[in-house]
């Protein structure tokens, strides 16, 4: 079969030039939620990578929703203006579509950056009170979260809506709601973290209720011209936890509400998880969700080789592939993949003379590289 990795793809209102997605990658480098020079450099180089779509790191909808005190946020006009400067720079020099991932860390908030150990910052250490569906900490010894009441849930839903409106005001192409990796929306979904006895706990329908309400509110708050999707953990990798059958049902419910794509990851909810790591270990989950729901899917997780990525898309296992660590290690991964697969990729005209002789047709020089 002919390579599909470098063919255009349309999902919802958004068309991307190829199937390579730069996945959200937390940088823990913001100042009170504001994007900094680091984000300009980091996102700027990835915008010139030749990928088809660039996603921001998890962007907190409220201060208490941050994973760490250095997380990117979009709860204020100051946050919006700071991110806007990065977006404007990218728009001037790269045609790549942009998606902002909106999230709330829930009980996994108030943590240190990974290079500082990543552990919980307790209240007496300058941390903040976390919230969750139930008063169950992520791990023993961590801050016990407050169980959200109706008022708290309404406030969080409102924060997601306000954040989505700020994203739209920046002219971003899409939004991804973070319902994976053990953060707040995932905490509502999993029976390991949600022990509520009201309409938001117990049955699968009840546990899905709040994440679906948040999605529906965000979808209604932005125009149809903006793509809105969800990142999920297809399984907790813990017996008795969230798993693929429930993920399929959640995806079907999202599809009925107008979801444009599902980004399929896994794990992150419990320290008890046992993840069988191997190349493309999560692709099977994306394939099943794609087959059973018809939703456009993004596969992610140990996808590092060009032929591996191409096979995932060409064989129909997933519509797009997302790379994270591989993109950090090689910010020109799409260029090199296109060279190996005999395809073309977009690049800024300032770089056109860089292509090696054996790949003289690598760059698509019919575009200016600017938007």
* Residues with catalytic function: 183
Question: Which DSSP state fits 145?
Answer: P
Beta bridge partners of 98: 54
Q: Which alpha helices (H) appear in 300-332, and where do they start and end?
A: 306-314, 325-329
Query: Tokens 């003379």 correspond to what residue?
Result: 353
Question: Which DSSP state fits 12?
Answer: T
**What burial letters (b/e) apply to 55-76, b meaning 16+ CB within 10 Å?**
bbbbbbbbbbbbbbbbbbbbbb
CB 17 within 8 A of CB 347: no
Q: Which alpha helices (H) appear in the chain, and where do they start and end?
A: 37-47, 77-93, 150-169, 184-189, 204-221, 244-256, 283-293, 306-314, 325-329, 333-341
Distance from C-alpha of 183 to C-alpha of 122, rounded to nearest angstrom: 18
Distance from C-alpha of 241 to C-alpha of 352, rounded to nearest angstrom: 50
Angle between helices 150-169 and 77-93 (to 10 degrees): 30
Other beta carbons within 10 angstroms of residue 15's beta carbon come to 13
How many Cα atoms within 13 Å fall on the side-chain side of residue 268? 23
Distance from C-alpha of 64 to C-alpha of 83, rounded to nearest angstrom: 19
């Amino acid at each position: 079969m002919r390579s599909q990795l470098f063919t255009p793809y349309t999902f919802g209102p958004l068309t991307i030039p190829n199937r390579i997605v730069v996945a959200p990658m937390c940088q823990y480098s913001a100042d009170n939620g504001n994007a900094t020079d680091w984000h300009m450099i980091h996102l700027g180089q990835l915008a010139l990578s030749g990928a088809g779509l660039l996603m921001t790191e998890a962007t907190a909808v409220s201060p208490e929703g941050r994973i760490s005190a250095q997380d990117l946020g979009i709860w204020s006009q100051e946050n919006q203006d700071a991110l806007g400067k990065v977006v404007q720079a990218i728009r001037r020099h790269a045609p790549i579509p942009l998606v902002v991932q909106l999230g709330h860390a829930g009980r996994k908030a108030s943590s240190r950056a990974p290079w500082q150990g990543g552990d919980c910052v307790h209240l007496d250490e300058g941390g903040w009170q976390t919230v969750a569906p139930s008063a169950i900490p992520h791990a023993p010894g961590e801050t016990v979260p407050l169980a959200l009441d109706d008022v708290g849930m309404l406030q969080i839903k409102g924060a997601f809506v306000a954040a989505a409106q700020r994203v739209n005001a920046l002219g971003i192409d899409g939004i991804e709601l973070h319902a994976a990796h053990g953060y707040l929306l995932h905490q509502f979904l999993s029976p390991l973290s949600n022990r509520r006895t009201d309409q938001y706990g117990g049955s699968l329908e009840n546990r899905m209720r709040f994440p679906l309400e948040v999605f529906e509110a965000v979808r209604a708050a932005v125009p149809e011209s903006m793509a809105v999707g969800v990142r999920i953990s297809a399984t907790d990798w813990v017996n008795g936890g969230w798993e693929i059958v429930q993920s399929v049902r959640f995806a079907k419910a999202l599809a009925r509400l107008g979801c444009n794509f599902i980004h399929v990851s896994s794990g992150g909810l419990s320290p008890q998880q046992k993840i069988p790591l191997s190349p493309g270990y999560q692709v099977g989950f994306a394939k099943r969700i794609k087959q059973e729901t018809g939703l456009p899917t993004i596969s992610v997780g140990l996808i590092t080789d060009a032929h591996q990525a191409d096979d995932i898309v060409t064989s129909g296992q997933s519509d797009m592939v997302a790379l994270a660590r591989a993109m950090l290690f090689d910010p020109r991964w799409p260029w090199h993949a296109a060279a190996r697969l005999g395809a073309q990729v977009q690049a800024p005209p300032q770089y056109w003379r860089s292509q090696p002789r054996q790949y003289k047709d690598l760059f698509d020089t019919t575009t200016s590289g600017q938007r």
